[in-house]
Amino acid sequence: MTQPIFLIGPRGCGKTTVGHELARLCGCECIDTDRWLQTHAQKSIAEIVEQEGWESFRARETAALEAVTAVSGVIATGGGIILAPYNRQFMREKGTVIYLSAPVPVLVERLVAFPEEGQRPTLTGKPISEEVSEVLAERDALYREAAHHVVDASLSPSEVVQNIATALRLACVS
């Protein structure tokens, strides 16, 4: 694999889970930008947002994206990484961008089952189903603008990986 594969999509679409499985099958590394950022900041995303604000977090997120792109492999991004036009263009130019698209009920079910509070601070302060619906409505067009391929993420992780492999014609997943 010569260029990174960027996985984008809303919280709960499976970027990290799919990323690790895809990387394992391709024999490369999977890096999660949110985890990388938290490790280097030595704070959770919730703490960064609370102490420094969303603008500072978004700047840190861009720096994390640039840093991890130096390592070719699979990159699982934070759900809001596409908010910055720079990030959308950067990913499209540096690799292949896959939008893991899933309907709101699937995303809500996953977020309720695996809340990961420290990693997933509320974006609106509203109930989860309302928040997911609003955020996805705001961001879907940005995900699609950034993506080279859109894959149905409501399937099982192995099916999603197979669909990515088919879309990219990856020899590593045969």
The yes-or-no verdict on residue 120 having pLDDT over 90 is no
| Residue ranges at the known binding site for ATP | 12-17, 120
CA angle 125, 81, 107 (to 5 degrees): 55
So what's the pLDDT on residue 117? 45
| Residue ranges at the known binding site for substrate | 34, 58, 79, 139
So what's the pLDDT on residue 174? 39
CA pair distance 139, 174, nearest whole angstrom:
33
CA pair distance 168, 165, nearest whole angstrom:
5
Beta bridge partners of 149: 98
For 42-169, where are the alpha helices, taking DSSP H only? 45-52, 54-69, 85-94, 104-113, 128-146, 157-168
So what's the pLDDT on residue 115? 66
Round the average pLDDT of the chain to a whole number and report it: 88
Q: Which residue has the higher pLDDT, 128 or 16?
A: 16
Q: Which residue has the higher pLDDT, 116 or 5?
A: 5
| Residue ranges at the known binding site for Mg(2+) | 16
Range from 37-46, 85-94, 146-155 carrying the lowest mean pLDDT: 37-46
So what's the pLDDT on residue 2? 72
| Residue ranges at the known binding site | 12-17, 34, 58, 79, 120, 139
So what's the pLDDT on residue 118? 41
The yes-or-no verdict on residue 125 having pLDDT over 80 is no
